[in-house]
A and B are shown apart, each in its own frame.
Chain A
Amino acid sequence: MRRLAFVRATTIHSSFFSGLVDQLKAPFGSAAWRPGWLLLVLGCLLVPASAHAQVATVNGFVVDQEDRQPLELVNVVLQEFSGAVVKGTVTDRDGLFLISQIPPGTFVLRATFIGYETYADTLSLEAGETYTQNITLAPDQALLDEVVVQTERESGAARVTAGQQTVRPADIELIPAPDVSGDLVGYLTTLPGIVSTGDRGGQLFIRGGEPSQNLVQLDGMMLYQPFHILGFYSAFPSDILSRADIYAGGYGARFGERISSVIDVWTRTGNKRRFAGAASLSPFLGSVQLEGPLIPNRVSFLFSVRESMIERGAEPLLDERLPFNFGDIFGKIHADVSTRARLSVSAINTHDRGTLVEASPETPSEEIRWENTAFGARYLYLPSFLPVSADVRVTHSRLDTELGTMDAPSRTSSISNTSISLDGTFARDETSTEAGLALRFISSDTALGGLFQNTESKSVGIDHLAFYFEPEWLIGRLHIQPGIRAQWFAIRIDPFLEPRLRLEWDLGNHTISGAAGRYVQEIIGLSDRRDAASIFTAWTNIPKFNPGQPDVLADNIPAATHAILGYRTTPTDWLELSVEGFYKWLDNLFVSEWTAFPRFTTRLQRATGRSFGFDTRLELRRQPYFYSYINYGFSNTQYEAKQEALELWYGEETLRFRPPHDRRHQVNALLSTQLYGFDVSFRWEFGSGLPFSRALGFDGFVLIDDIVDVINEPYSRRVIYERPYNAVLPTYHRLDVSVDRTFAVGQLDVTVLGSVINVYDRRNLFYLDVFTLQRVDQLPFIPSLGIKVSFD
């Protein structure tokens, strides 16, 4: 089997590249020559270079003097001596700024950021010159509180723009959790439109999409299953994060290969001036974090390790079995390799093990285990000959998943992805252009024991080549960001072209935004969503059509079209309100064929779907005294599947049903305040019931296709359903509270946190085994105490 698969993979590689080479070799004017798109893109890239000879460029990195970490959102302007601003920009997450199209002359370069002393220097620029000026900003102690205000204003609970929301560590820390340090997933589950499987399972459904349709990246490294099995935790502790950009849909051409959403997470760099660290402990988790200079002022490291403490902590506390074990380890080295270049190397490993449903006389316990491993290098470079910044990344990601016993797992799936990518940003007046290309080598191995289209095992190697081009224009107050992404998958030689568009119209206190795009996904995750406790995902590809090997997946590449329209208003500096509507058209989804056989006799069938809804978010802030938000999300997701037998069973050819993650109503409220020197946070969440298939009863089935001997003829047990997903589970709601305070003890900061999860002990349902009526609830009332000791 493996050998056959290898041959197939080799064939794909050769056909893919030879086809591409053939296209490039083909003479102009011939029928085979179709690289019009390529010429267009190359032309666009070259134009700035020719124009560069008459003007100058200034670029550089801005860092904090205290720790030499990059500073984002710093205003960098070129002024004439009269004070008139010639050009200006804002630094990105790497602290990078780039000002181009500057006429030759002498200017004042000024960098300002609330909470920091202003930087100013005089520059004389010649035509064609690209001048690099790195800037170090010194904190202004008197204005530190305003820094908090400024940075949070760029994110915030109601600050959503065309499906995109930025999350910063400070936002995450407001969410009550059993630990002193927060975790990104805690914040994500407060967002409208994101449905989770609750406090166990680690699955996020974003605006109607499946977990395997979310692109999750950490420092540009793809992570396939980054959310831990216990729902409070993910591979993203807030302590190591710089920012996370959540695109609930409508993402730009920079992102691809997933059709639902993007979670783009970036870690911060370590302190380049001095060592700092922290250790924390709670009934759920223990963690250690360390950072510091390897070469002072130039090279730093950041290291974090976390390990679950449930067996020794939470289980005795709750007197309830919680068979979960997980942990993660992260490391990053960041180096200022030259005035014009930055190099960072990141690596992460996560592991999860647990049993979502305990064994019963009827069902054996099935343990699931998964491990993510990823590492990558990123080289950020400011060339001296072009007004561009170049970002080169080489990454490798891998996910191994097993279901069953350690010795003899019943199902396994592995996927790995090695990626080489180059992104460039070209800055011009009122215009900037991003373009890039990526080459990925993906391989997957699955052994499913005959599940999913009777697939026993499958091993494939797939190449992806992607190119995108995304200019951005600022016309008055209107930002227009059209884009195109071309992706070559193994399934065919012609590229999949995905047009994208993002708009933002800034009207002062009012902002109108919109986004639309087309998305396709060749690598897919197959799960049996009939069963909430089944989180095993088999990663595989969409194969080419092969008449000798019928496959429902063949040539049917999953695709989605997104449309988003949003409005945001900030009537006062303490109030922000946003409303955003969305519609997603989904095609070539693969769902389990409907059957009355109990358990997993799964065959796949194609389905289409659509999801629409809207989010409303209201944020109130009077920090440091008061911070609150409330949001409401409405969503309506429907799948349509055609199955030959449907007409026979239900009298109609098409089965329209609510998939089990179709949560219609969601409310999340957060209140954070200070009382007697303590930080107090309340979080309340509400979700309407999820669909499930209610049964009439159970009997057995004997296939009467012969003069059968009913004594010895094999029979199956059968569930007698009314119709698929014809009922809803009870609503979900929960209140969490946390209180914390930080004390200075010598050189150490000691933070003590008390929290209560599920304050009013709501019996929220996680999983109901329809076959045995075994019920598994989410976590009950949990008081918890956490402590964190840090030095800086």
Chain B
Amino acid sequence: MSFVSISRAVFYVAVAFVLSGCEEDVTAVVGTEHPFSMWGVLNPLSDTQYVRVFPIEGTLNRGEPLPLDARFVSTDLETGEEQLWRDSVLVDERGIVGHVFYAPLTVDYQHTYALAITGGHGATASTEVEVPIRTTLTLVEPDTSVGVILPGLVLNNPPRLVRNELTFGASYIRGFTDGGCPLYVYRQYSVSYDDRIREREDGWWFVVNLREVHGFVETRALEDPFYLPPFGITFGFLRFDTIVANEAWNPPNGIYDPNVLVEPGTLSNVENGFGFVGAGYRLSRTWTLLNHVVEKSGFRADYVSC
């Protein structure tokens, strides 16, 4: 092996690598045929519907404060009625331009609406959204035979109930004034009831155990060093909230984790686009409880006076 042959080999290898690496430009964003992403909820209790629309772009820029070059139409697939939506251009505190399309429209229960947005280039993103059935939340008479059991029922078996929450308030004494008046502190808590609601033939049932509620509040009160247990805890209120949702409104594992749902396609019902448009409405009921029911649960029904 001579110097000349080695040098020549080195030269050829170098030239080969140079020629193979001439490309300098890089395509960081390959683009997609999907034109838009849509996010929103059709609410039959509202007389105006809103959907936020993001054009899918090649760069992450702030956008121009101009209406989108797009046509947004909703169609009631039961009646064939079409509605043209209008763009409202919003600029947030970061200077980023946003687009929320809206229409003076009251959606009907159990109707399905087709939402379609077509860009100036002709590409359309669309979705079909079914509005869930109308229902009511009924509170059944308390059962005080064993503890204090408060059943509730959402009638008509709507497809899904989401964000089921029990909210309750209570007060307890943390001391007395020089004049002997009690110093009450008010506490309010919300706990998820997603795991406690069951579907039966006549609707979605749930059961509130008021003694459990009392135990929950008492446990937290005992963590307060100023709480005076001999005076008990006075019941405030008890409310159940839920959202009646359509079938599509169903995140993976029933969990609304933004770090999971942010991945495109994870909770999506938009054709040729991304995003999610659900349909639903809130239901909420507050219990009115008699004093003996309250007291049987361990709460006080009254307040200590001065």
Point out the residues of chain B lying under 8 angstroms from A669, CB to CB.
10, 14
A731 with B52, Cβ < 8 A, contacts A596-B262, A698-B57, A720-B32 known:
no
Measured in the bound complex, the distance between the Cα atoms of B51 and A710 in whole Å is 7
B20:A697 contact, CB within 8 angstroms: no
Point out the residues of chain B lying under 8 angstroms from A701, CB to CB.
39, 258, 261-262
In the complex, whether A43 has a CB less than 8 A from a CB of chain B is: no
A702:B39 contact, CB within 8 angstroms: yes
B90 in complex: contacting residue of A711, A717, A719, A729, CB < 8 Å: A711
Point out the residues of chain B lying under 8 angstroms from A717, CB to CB.
60, 96
A707 with B43, Cβ < 8 A, contacts A700-B37, A730-B25, A765-B26 known:
yes
Point out the residues of chain A lying under 8 angstroms from B179, CB to CB.
none
In the complex, whether B203 has a CB less than 8 A from a CB of chain A is: no
A362 in complex: contacting residue of B36, B52, B61, CB < 8 Å: B61
Q: Interface-forming stretch among A78-86, A225-233, A769-777?
A: A769-777
Measured in the bound complex, the distance between the Cα atoms of B107 and A756 in whole Å is 71
Nearest Cβ on chain A to B266's Cβ, whole angstroms? 6
Point out the residues of chain A lying under 8 angstroms from B52, CB to CB.
700, 702, 710-711, 713, 715
In the complex, whether A406 has a CB less than 8 A from a CB of chain B is: no
Point out the residues of chain B lying under 8 angstroms from A575, CB to CB.
1
Measured in the bound complex, the distance between the Cα atoms of B278 and A603 in whole Å is 29
Point out the residues of chain A lying under 8 angstroms from B257, CB to CB.
645
Residue of B nearest to A769 (CB): B28
A649:B263 contact, CB within 8 angstroms: yes
Point out the residues of chain A lying under 8 angstroms from B50, CB to CB.
709-711
Query: Of residues 258 to 278 in B, which have CB atoms within 8 Å of A's CB atoms?
Result: 258-267, 274-276, 278
* Highest count of chain B CB atoms <10 Å: which of A696, A700, A720, A732: A700
B61:A772 contact, CB within 8 angstroms: yes
A694 with B30, Cβ < 8 A, contacts A648-B252, A667-B13, A703-B261 known:
yes
Measured in the bound complex, the distance between the Cα atoms of B243 and A722 in whole Å is 34
Residue of A nearest to B252 (CB): A648
Inter-chain residue pair count (beta carbon < 8 A): 185
In the complex, whether A699 has a CB less than 8 A from a CB of chain B is: yes
Chain A interfacial residues counted at CB < 8 A: 67
B256:A703 contact, CB within 8 angstroms: yes
Measured in the bound complex, the distance between the Cα atoms of B5 and A618 in whole Å is 14
Point out the residues of chain A lying under 8 angstroms from B58, CB to CB.
697-698, 773
A773:B59 contact, CB within 8 angstroms: yes
In the complex, whether B54 has a CB less than 8 A from a CB of chain A is: yes
Nearest Cβ on chain A to B75's Cβ, whole angstroms? 20
Point out the residues of chain A lying under 8 angstroms from B43, CB to CB.
707
Measured in the bound complex, the distance between the Cα atoms of B280 and A707 in whole Å is 7
In the complex, whether B158 has a CB less than 8 A from a CB of chain A is: no
Nearest Cβ on chain B to A688's Cβ, whole angstroms? 8
Residue of B nearest to A765 (CB): B26
B262 in complex: contacting residue of A597, A626, A694, A713, CB < 8 Å: A597
In the complex, whether B198 has a CB less than 8 A from a CB of chain A is: no
A598:B60 contact, CB within 8 angstroms: yes
A773:B29 contact, CB within 8 angstroms: yes
B28:A715 contact, CB within 8 angstroms: no
Measured in the bound complex, the distance between the Cα atoms of B37 and A598 in whole Å is 17
Point out the residues of chain B lying under 8 angstroms from A703, CB to CB.
256, 258, 261
Measured in the bound complex, the distance between the Cα atoms of B251 and A648 in whole Å is 11
A645 with B10, Cβ < 8 A, contacts A696-B31, A697-B57, A733-B21 known:
no
Nearest Cβ on chain B to A443's Cβ, whole angstroms? 32
Measured in the bound complex, the distance between the Cα atoms of B3 and A649 in whole Å is 57
Point out the residues of chain B lying under 8 angstroms from A709, CB to CB.
50
Residue of B nearest to A684 (CB): B14
Residue of A nearest to B49 (CB): A710
In the complex, whether A736 has a CB less than 8 A from a CB of chain B is: no
B21 in complex: contacting residue of A361, A628, A698, A730, CB < 8 Å: A730
A704 with B260, Cβ < 8 A, contacts A669-B14, A696-B32, A699-B55 known:
no
In the complex, whether B86 has a CB less than 8 A from a CB of chain A is: no
A697:B100 contact, CB within 8 angstroms: no
A731:B23 contact, CB within 8 angstroms: yes
In the complex, whether A183 has a CB less than 8 A from a CB of chain B is: no
Point out the residues of chain A lying under 8 angstroms from B281, CB to CB.
707
Nearest Cβ on chain B to A278's Cβ, whole angstroms? 34
Point out the residues of chain B lying under 8 angstroms from A773, CB to CB.
28-29, 58-59
Nearest Cβ on chain B to A210's Cβ, whole angstroms? 24
In the complex, whether A768 has a CB less than 8 A from a CB of chain B is: yes
In the complex, whether A76 has a CB less than 8 A from a CB of chain B is: no
Measured in the bound complex, the distance between the Cα atoms of B267 and A722 in whole Å is 17
Measured in the bound complex, the distance between the Cα atoms of B3 and A620 in whole Å is 9
Nearest Cβ on chain A to B63's Cβ, whole angstroms? 10
B163 in complex: contacting residue of A618, A692, A705, A727, CB < 8 Å: A705
In the complex, whether B111 has a CB less than 8 A from a CB of chain A is: no
A706:B21 contact, CB within 8 angstroms: no
Interface 1/0 per residue, B16-44 and A, CB below 8 Å: 01101101111111111010110111010
Point out the residues of chain A lying under 8 angstroms from B20, CB to CB.
731
B13:A630 contact, CB within 8 angstroms: yes
In the complex, whether B239 has a CB less than 8 A from a CB of chain A is: no
Interface 1/0 per residue, B71-83 and A, CB below 8 Å: 0000000000000
A362 with B62, Cβ < 8 A, contacts A596-B264, A698-B56 known:
yes
In the complex, whether A762 has a CB less than 8 A from a CB of chain B is: yes
Measured in the bound complex, the distance between the Cα atoms of B31 and A263 in whole Å is 44
* Highest count of chain A CB atoms <10 Å: which of B54, B259, B261, B263: B263
B17:A710 contact, CB within 8 angstroms: no
Query: Of residues 597 to 654 in A, which have CB atoms within 8 Å of B's CB atoms?
Result: 597-598, 601, 603, 618, 620, 622, 626, 628, 630, 644-645, 648-649
In the complex, whether A173 has a CB less than 8 A from a CB of chain B is: no
A704:B278 contact, CB within 8 angstroms: yes
Chain A residues within CB distance 8 Å of chain B:
361-362, 575, 593, 595-598, 601, 603, 618, 620, 622, 626, 628, 630, 644-645, 648-649, 667, 669, 684, 686, 692, 694-711, 713, 715-722, 727, 729-733, 762-763, 765, 768, 770-773, 775
Q: Shortest 6 CB-CB distances between A and B: which pairs?
A: A731-B21, A705-B256, A702-B39, A699-B54, A700-B54, A699-B37
Contacts A/B (CB < 8 Å), 12 sampled: A595-B262, A603-B259, A628-B7, A644-B260, A648-B260, A695-B28, A698-B58, A700-B37, A704-B278, A718-B264, A765-B24, A768-B26
Chain B residues within CB distance 8 Å of chain A:
1, 3, 6-7, 10, 13-14, 17-18, 20-21, 23-32, 34, 36-37, 39-41, 43, 50-52, 54-62, 88, 90, 96, 98, 100, 162-163, 243, 249, 251-252, 256-267, 274-276, 278, 280-282
